[in-house]
Structure 1
């Protein structure tokens, strides 16, 4: 075998250039009859172009690709061996003959896949889709993973497959087995030598054990058997062998069962796990399993496999459930359809264990043809049978029951006839057997009718659907016998196979199966459903065009549900209604509740009514006894005023409310009514930073002009980039120490590094000598740099600086989306043609810079370059997509380097340089079209500009309180982060000491945010999200005001993505962001609490929620030890 790194390098020798193009050329020469199919299997249209575009995701393209591929698979199943050979040779010229013979052989095939497969077989020519699975899977592996090795023979793959991926190797083992059975001794010998570790290239893997066991050579089986016995304590080796035994040649499997039993291999956990996969018995979960019991079950299977006639006799007579199951299992091992035929009659057996064993086998077969029988077993009088059948059926619309392929009709018709014959043989119509067979007959006949009905007769089609898919009716009549609460049922055969029955699970499936039935049939089961089922009903009703009064009534019930998931689904239907008066009053009644999403949605529904109706709701709500309703009424009237909808009348209602409540007004009511009783109240928005910003006083951003003091690009930088690209190619076999995914250091070849972050980074904390020790390859790199030609040198010695700029300019391309080429013409001329750097090229430059530092004090160079490049972008100020030109790597190059230099060397920058940087920032992020600073300008940049007089307080307000970009409802990811506000809103901000006026600006922002937010109702304000960014909201006065405004609302805990800005969340955050100030003494706090009339219980809740106030509250309550207890609680939870 080979070292993996060496193997990776050597594989390149066998790889072809442009593999897809080669295959397309050969496909173009195929006969037209199957040329299209050959293209489709590669994901290509008949003209050779891809179905799926790389530029955007389009589900329809994937659907077309899958449809074309499925049609291709079906066509190639009809081709002759000669035609198949031509087809496969177009993909793999040296595998065509082998693949054609492998695609067409007689006999049986395994049809289940995945880790939980069973070793059941069916005829390769069977009409079931499952019979094609194995062939399609292996061909897919070849086409999707090995096209670059398309010129290689099967013998080459047998040797090199260990280096082409474990999954690929495992699948290819089956093809190797077929090659061996076709007389290819070279493949057999390669696998044997690979397993022994004697092959020059090949290595041990599952392709070895799978290939040898799946082939029909006994000497191969014997070699694997000896390997298994020699494993001893090597559990991993034993597992790798046993995990492919189930897919071995049938005779090899029989030999393995005997070997395992005779050598007591069930004493090893790997054997038990493997047997679980073979038999579907879940022995791993059964702690009481003994080696004796496992051996006994295995011996039973051995006996049945060796004596089918005896097995059939036992199956007719035995009353033991496990024996029945193993008899059916051994039958399915050779022929799944024969086992299906034998299992179906057992479902009507009077003995429960026999019925249950047959049902278990049917679920393990995983055949579409078994679904009607499983569905019929759902009607079994024993709840354990019914629950197991329920768990194995498809209860979704358009599932397996109603979508069986046309090529299975004959089989279904045969089953229909067989069931009819069995019915005629049952003498007593009222027996359980007669009832089961009648149900089975109904299911099978319905499916046949659905498939064979006249598609041109629309009426007949509708009637057929109604009759054929009776899963809804089955659920409907069985729900009453299922328990209302989840109940674990006693096992029938195996302790590990306990069923849990719950009527809720059945009811939840009903909306998906309703079809064209009346929605009212769901109503009796709403109380049984989980939130998922109730949400599904709401969606089902929402999708119906005509909604009856009963449907509307149920939707309003669901809108009032306790679960937000259900409420949201109902809202999507209710919000389209025109509310009747009684419905509006019903919505008003919901506003006694505290759920933020319910309150917000209810208010939105009431506000959709006309002005008169909305005012009536506001008046009723503000006159209610419930405090939550009154707050909602004030919120509604506030929005009426702010949206100029009868503002005078709305204010009059508020004035009357204040007069009527007088001294009974709560803190929240006072906060909300104060602005509404003012003649100057206007809605606060972020357009003017909550009223703090005067847009006419923003600083002016001059148009950048070109500067010619420096030589920006000389051409040396392009030579250096190209030279480093060539250097990497030349030294691709140089060993380099890299970190792997586990952060361990391992050696790899330079040319094999696929991701640059693996490459070692310079560490300025280490000496140069230590750096050379970390990266010995560095010596070669520096020798290259020092011996570079004159074309890579500049007279001023700044070629390395210009190269870093060229690499920055290359990253991000030329221009943004939708911007015309002429916009970039002058910029492109400025930089010239920059070669595309290899992945590692920028990282090698970093090492060169580490040993050859760049010149100091480059601020003017970067600023001049940035102004020159931006000045060369033409026409961007009149473009609608002004953001696009900023995405250019060319525009960002000098600009970002200037910003980075300021960040690292701010103390060396002059006032003039800071002013120039501010002018650039101001132009790029406001004057040229974006008109916003939020998230784009760093707080250190604007505060520096403020210190030197370039920026003013209004620029800072715009930065701290940016205006959100337009967004669709609920798309909160468009919101600004307000990170600049968070940086300067703490209690201790170093920038306050160096930036005159900054403290006052931040205090004004905080004060205004609190003023707007604390008078809110349920509706989010413009200040809600900025409030969440405050790291310090204030002292005692803010704490008590916020606690009073919250009333009895519960403090928010945890995170809610869509509800983060609701009232309780924001107020809770503000409370946690308060801290005692110097004047907030214990005595002052106690007096303020007394005046605010905050209850004792609420004070304790505040102390636990915001423990920074625990000592103050302890003093106020006089509870010795409360503060210590609270801090102990926080330290231990």
Structure 2
């Protein structure tokens, strides 16, 4: 490959050598090949030079990983994940009083099920009156927290208040926390028990007694309630109206107790699973019979469903083979190991996490009520749940048929694969950092640490160009916290770009993170990306391989913007210094038109930027693949040049005056260069519309060709273009107009009257006739109306028929001309 005459193949060879050195595979031999290439291949491309720099700088030979944030932090500097121990004081999470409360409230609701009540609508106005028993929920009390009369929004408040005040002893606990214990029962949802045993990663595990015992220690079981969601809503209201004085400390104790119980149960189960008794029990199972008739009896102890067992039998897998496979982890979730997007473990189970989730909700709903000591306890619990080493299974990425997924490893295999993270959110991390219990490494880990898939949501939100929108999304941040956070975000973004800009054809560890970026700032960044893109084309529209070099670089170039201090003169100077040719600069301006003004200055072409925006405005493309904020900035830019709305333009309206203003300011060759690059303004074939309209106005399209396309293919844009082709001069002018009118009338007749009337009645089209013929200096109403009387009339709506003859004449004229653009 290094001796190929193709520069792309040579670059691929250098990249393979780089990968071998990173993997420590014959590094000395690889360096010798690189040095020989450097001395023998004197004429090299920019891409080859970038790759050779990696071999000259040993630091670039080190493989960056997301485990250390691409080298931005030391994982050892994060807050330690300390395994939780049981609290010093006794913690009781399940009581008879909590169970009795659920039944009592359910019975009380049933007794008042026929009572009419009224809830508030989304706009805070009273809604329709309904029977209590027909409701699915009540408004959450948190939305009325700031109001002194919050209780007025609770239907039948007196009923529930009296129940709460005069409860008998069997509905009360000595510590007064029975309502909290009852509320946690709804963590599993209204359907009650929904635990999945495979969350623990023990292969082939059924819902065994030890799992049930663990769950019963943590929360009250929901009996068969008739109104579960109403009971839940009432508990929230009663806790809101009568908050226990020690609720935060108790919830933290409960969260600590539950996590300690989970850790203890898993560690105990690991000890049991390593014993020889389980292996001997499985080995005694008889092989499957050929007909699979005895499946349930032979393998029921393995925790597999009947359908699964039949599938395995059909595959020729006997019990002995299955048992052995399950011991080594080749069977996951009771099925043969395959890739899966289901990467859940016990941290996703709502029941096991009921108390820690309640603690998080309490903090988010009223953070000011928490002391620093209380938040410190919560923070350390969250850190362990994020990195509970030894208690959750690891995952590996597997590929099958081009599809990448995840496969669970046995929980006792902690040496391979990756630990799925369950990080505290950004607000919690910054709160911990502010009070001095979290480190900068914790914040960087939240932004750019390793994770499954492309889920860098914080980095995505914080790299928006519109910082006002970001401040709205993160309203909890203070200004000084924003400044600190943006400094770290810039470090992350710069590091990601540094790694990704030097890549070859293979993805890098930064590839997933780079796809989450919403903006890249500065002239040097975009010019470096353009240079390293080389001869590859921009990606247009949807692309299957989103991690390919062209896709990633196209994404970065499209979200690149000039920095506030960047000037067009700087762009021109740096563009020439990097050797970028005019064609590449034009393609950049069309693909990312925010750079059009800078390219105009570098090329010294008058009206270049306006021409680029004209093509974008008249391209039939909604740019769904472009981030919304960028689309909005493009739309705002186009409104500076035309009074037409973006919807008018998308529907096919043409600003003729804008076109001629731009075209007459340029040289024909300059216009042709932009015309050639117009394909980069769309994700498909939408640019053909802009080209068609431009060619029509320049007389480069024959009227007969346009008519043929209309009649044979019913081509809508050709109907619009027919009104843009210059009119014949002299005596044949009126006949030319009449012929176009007849073609359009025939096209309209081919549609249903309903569609015709709807499209012609659009108010936006009534202003368009005056934008079709400004260069021809004709009065479209008079010319077409004179032809109207010579031929069969265009169908007129009932509203037009009812008008006076003069008004009818003007209306039909307008509708007739408007038909050129429908």
TM-score (norm 2): 0.52
Query: Measured at CA, do residues 826 and 1048 of structure 1 come closer, stay the same or move farther in structure 2, by a change above 3 Å?
Result: closer
* CA deviation profile, 1:865-903 (whole Å, cap 9, x unmatched): 211221222143585999643344443122112222332
Query: Measured at CA, do residues 1113 and 854 of structure 1 come closer, stay the same or move farther in structure 2, by a change above 3 Å?
Result: farther
Contact 1:736 1:775 in 2 (8 A): no
- Within a 5 Å distance, the mapping from 1:678-757 to structure 2 comes to 678-679=57-58, 681-707=61-87, 708=89, 715-734=96-115, 751=133, 756=136
* CA deviation profile, 1:689-716 (whole Å, cap 9, x unmatched): 3334434444322232333387766543
Q: Give the drift of 1:916.
A: 1.8
Alignment partners' CA distance in 2, 1:705 and 1:836: 34
Alignment partners' CA distance in 1, 2:421 and 2:540: 28
Alignment partners' CA distance in 2, 1:1123 and 1:751: 65
Aligned equivalent of 1:968: none
Query: Measured at CA, do residues 1081 and 637 of structure 1 come closer, stay the same or move farther in structure 2, by a change above 3 Å?
Result: same
Contact 2:113 2:134 in 1 (8 A): yes
SS of the residue 1:619 aligns to: coil
- 2:387 pairs with one of 914, 920, 926: 926
Alignment partners' CA distance in 1, 2:542 and 2:360: 35
Q: Does 1:822 align with 2:210?
A: yes
Q: Give the drift of 1:920.
A: 0.7
- Within a 5 Å distance, the mapping from 1:65-76 to structure 2 comes to none
Contact 2:100 2:170 in 1 (8 A): yes
- 1:804 pairs with one of 183, 198, 202: 183
Query: Measured at CA, do residues 760 and 919 of structure 1 come closer, stay the same or move farther in structure 2, by a change above 3 Å?
Result: closer
Alignment partners' CA distance in 2, 1:829 and 1:934: 26
Q: Give the drift of 1:1071.
A: 1.9
Aligned equivalent of 2:552: 1066
* CA deviation profile, 1:784-811 (whole Å, cap 9, x unmatched): 5555444334566554444323333677
* CA deviation profile, 1:758-785 (whole Å, cap 9, x unmatched): x666683599999899886666555655
Query: Measured at CA, do residues 1049 and 654 of structure 1 come closer, stay the same or move farther in structure 2, by a change above 3 Å?
Result: same
Query: Measured at CA, do residues 935 and 829 of structure 1 come closer, stay the same or move farther in structure 2, by a change above 3 Å?
Result: closer
Contact 2:140 2:233 in 1 (8 A): no
- Within a 5 Å distance, the mapping from 1:619-1018 to structure 2 comes to 619-620=2-3, 623-625=4-6, 627-662=7-42, 664-666=44-46, 668-679=47-58, 681-707=61-87, 708=89, 715-734=96-115, 751=133, 756=136, 764=143, 784-785=163-164, 788-793=167-172, 798-808=177-187, 813=193, 816-818=196-198, 821-822=209-210, 825=213, 828-829=216-217, 831=219, 833-835=221-223, 837=225, 838-845=227-234, 848-849=237-238, 852=241, 854=243, 858-873=247-262, 874-876=264-266, 879=270, 884-929=345-390, 932=419, 934=421, 936-964=423-451, 975-986=453-464, 988=467, 993-994=480-481, 998-1018=485-505
Q: Give the drift of 1:643.
A: 3.8
User: Which stretch shifts more, 764-773 or 1047-1056?
Assistant: 764-773
Aligned equivalent of 1:467: none
Higher-RCO chain (CA-CA 8 Å, sequence separation at least 6): 2
Q: Does 1:1077 align with 2:563?
A: yes
Contact 2:139 2:233 in 1 (8 A): no
- 2:529 pairs with one of 1024, 1030, 1042: 1042
* CA deviation profile, 1:70-121 (whole Å, cap 9, x unmatched): xxxxxxxxxxxxxxxxxxxxxxxxxxxxxxxxxxxxxxxxxxxxxxxxxxxx
Contact 2:386 2:421 in 1 (8 A): no
- What RMSD, in angstroms, separates the aligned Cα atoms of the two structures? 4.2
Alignment partners' CA distance in 1, 2:597 and 2:71: 38
- Within a 5 Å distance, the mapping from 1:150-549 to structure 2 comes to none
Alignment partners' CA distance in 2, 1:1124 and 1:856: 67
Q: Give the drift of 1:1027.
A: 0.8
Query: Measured at CA, do residues 722 and 887 of structure 1 come closer, stay the same or move farther in structure 2, by a change above 3 Å?
Result: farther
Q: Give the drift of 1:747.
A: 6.6
Query: Measured at CA, do residues 823 and 619 of structure 1 come closer, stay the same or move farther in structure 2, by a change above 3 Å?
Result: same
Query: Measured at CA, do residues 994 and 853 of structure 1 come closer, stay the same or move farther in structure 2, by a change above 3 Å?
Result: farther
* CA deviation profile, 1:838-888 (whole Å, cap 9, x unmatched): 442355326734972635885433222211221222143585999643344
Aligned equivalent of 1:1025: 512
Gaps of 5+ in 1: 1-617, 965-973
Alignment partners' CA distance in 2, 1:839 and 1:660: 78
Gaps of 5+ in 2: 201-207, 271-328, 333-342, 393-417, 472-476, 618-633, 636-645, 651-822
Q: Give the drift of 1:1021.
A: 1.5
Query: Measured at CA, do residues 887 and 778 of structure 1 come closer, stay the same or move farther in structure 2, by a change above 3 Å?
Result: same
SS of the residue 2:580 aligns to: coil
Contact 1:713 1:802 in 2 (8 A): yes
Query: Measured at CA, do residues 889 and 1002 of structure 1 come closer, stay the same or move farther in structure 2, by a change above 3 Å?
Result: same
Alignment partners' CA distance in 1, 2:148 and 2:380: 44
Query: Measured at CA, do residues 948 and 767 of structure 1 come closer, stay the same or move farther in structure 2, by a change above 3 Å?
Result: closer
Query: Measured at CA, do residues 917 and 768 of structure 1 come closer, stay the same or move farther in structure 2, by a change above 3 Å?
Result: closer
Contact 2:95 2:220 in 1 (8 A): no
Aligned equivalent of 2:594: 1108
* CA deviation profile, 1:923-961 (whole Å, cap 9, x unmatched): 112143457574532112222223333232333443333
Query: Measured at CA, do residues 794 and 1080 of structure 1 come closer, stay the same or move farther in structure 2, by a change above 3 Å?
Result: same
Query: Measured at CA, do residues 659 and 801 of structure 1 come closer, stay the same or move farther in structure 2, by a change above 3 Å?
Result: same
Aligned equivalent of 2:578: 1092
Contact 2:141 2:240 in 1 (8 A): no
Q: Give the drift of 1:651.
A: 3.8
Alignment partners' CA distance in 1, 2:147 and 2:75: 53
* CA deviation profile, 1:712-764 (whole Å, cap 9, x unmatched): 66543322211222234444445567999xx99777655556xx47x666683
Alignment partners' CA distance in 2, 1:660 and 1:1079: 43
SS of the residue 1:701 aligns to: coil
Aligned equivalent of 1:568: none
State which structure, 1 or 2, has the greater radius of gyration over its C-alpha atoms. 1
Query: Measured at CA, do residues 702 and 771 of structure 1 come closer, stay the same or move farther in structure 2, by a change above 3 Å?
Result: closer
* CA deviation profile, 1:357-382 (whole Å, cap 9, x unmatched): xxxxxxxxxxxxxxxxxxxxxxxxxx
Contact 2:106 2:231 in 1 (8 A): no
Query: Measured at CA, do residues 1048 and 778 of structure 1 come closer, stay the same or move farther in structure 2, by a change above 3 Å?
Result: farther
Q: Give the drift of 1:633.
A: 3.3
Query: Measured at CA, do residues 894 and 628 of structure 1 come closer, stay the same or move farther in structure 2, by a change above 3 Å?
Result: same
User: Which stretch shifts more, 1026-1035 or 1072-1081?
Assistant: 1072-1081
Alignment partners' CA distance in 1, 2:238 and 2:536: 59
Query: Measured at CA, do residues 655 and 842 of structure 1 come closer, stay the same or move farther in structure 2, by a change above 3 Å?
Result: farther
Alignment partners' CA distance in 2, 1:1086 and 1:901: 56
Query: Measured at CA, do residues 924 and 982 of structure 1 come closer, stay the same or move farther in structure 2, by a change above 3 Å?
Result: same
